[in-house]
Amino acid sequence: MNLSNVLAVVPTFGLEANTIGQRRSARGLIYYNYAREFAEELFDLEEVIDIASARRADPDWIFGLPELELLEREIEADRFSIEVTGISVNPLDGIVNVALLAVATSELFFDIVREATKANWEAIERPGVELPIEFVDLADSRIDDWVHQARLGAASSFALDRARQRISQGDPRSIQRKGRI
For β-strands 80-89 and 19-20, DSSP reports them as unpaired
Q: Give SS3 for 103.
A: strand
Q: What is the pLDDT of residues 3-13, one digit of tens each?
A: 466 888 988 88
Q: What is the pLDDT of residues 57-107, one digit of tens each?
A: 788 989 999 999 999 999 999 999 999 999 999 888 888 889 999 999 999
Say how far apart CA 136 and CA 6 lie, in whole Å: 16
Q: Give SS3 for 115.
A: helix
Q: pLDDT exceeding 70 applies to what percent of the chain?
A: 81
What's at 15, amino acid-wise?
A: L
Assess contact for 99 and 163: CB atoms under 8 A. Answer: yes
